Chain A
């Protein structure tokens, strides 16, 4: 079956530091990959996605590249802000068919950014 493994947290950084949150996956076929973010008191929101190998998803300064050879989708940001403090979830779905909204999530990584 499908599975997603994220680096263990929590992660604590100073403002303007470089961020990497590792994500690796196991899936059959060619899954689509996502990063969702959950800010305090809010619902999960899609941050970025990539639907095929070597695609790079990007949004709000965050980037992640779909690496099929290493089954990874690491999240990076060059300079974090206090407002980036949130829980980040890596997720996948098997593209095609009718189950594309059925996501498999990692356990989440708590990010705290200090001024």
Chain B
């Protein structure tokens, strides 16, 4: 169990640029989640995958956001035409997909949009 890894740890970009983050879940976990956390707030749910299928998307996920999980392994979260309001910590979590089980979180990608 090597844990959930996210890359990069930090990303600084200019407004209007596109950015992509990667998450590698724990290998046997079939569920993968994306959350967003702004300063002083708790994480907010964005979307989740069961294997390669994206099953739910939050209203927070505007049409500038897209997430994929090809082949049910790693996942990417892309933000197009970034805005300053997108500055946040983006967290990835994974689980086996059982009721009431714990989520394993990565350390996150800190995005700063200038």
Is B99 touching A108 in the complex (CB atoms < 8 A)? Answer: no
CB distance from A36 to the nearest CB of B (A): 8
Q: In the complex, what residues of B have CB within 8 A of residue A89's CB? A: 42-43
CB-contact partner of B99 in A41, A42, A100, A103, under 8 A: A100
| Cα–Cα, bound, A93→B99 (Å) | 10
Q: State whether the Cβ of B90 lies closer than 8 Å to any Cβ in chain A.
A: no
Q: A101-B31, A102-B45, A107-B40 are in contact. Are A95 and B105 (CB under 8 A)?
A: no
Binding site for A on B (CB under 8 A): 3-4, 31, 33, 35, 40-45, 48, 50, 55-56, 91, 93, 95, 97, 99-100, 102-108
How far apart are the CA atoms of A107 and B50 in the complex, in Å?
27
- How far does the alpha carbon of A41 sit from the alpha carbon of B91 in the complex, in Å? 13
Residues of A whose CB lies within 8 Å of any CB of B are: 4, 32, 34, 36, 41-46, 49, 51, 89, 91, 93, 95-96, 98-108
* Min CB gap B57→A, angstroms: 11
List residues of chain B with CB within 8 A of the CB of A51: 100
Whether B45 and A103, one on each chain, are in contact in the complex, defined by CB atoms closer than 8 angstroms, is: yes
Check B102–A46 contact: CB distance below 8 A.
yes
Pick 30 A–B contacts, CB within 8 A, sort by A: A4-B42, A32-B100, A34-B102, A36-B105, A42-B107, A43-B4, A43-B104, A43-B105, A43-B106, A44-B43, A44-B91, A44-B93, A44-B105, A46-B102, A49-B100, A51-B100, A89-B42, A95-B99, A95-B100, A96-B99, A98-B50, A100-B99, A101-B31, A101-B97, A102-B45, A102-B48, A103-B43, A104-B45, A105-B42, A105-B43
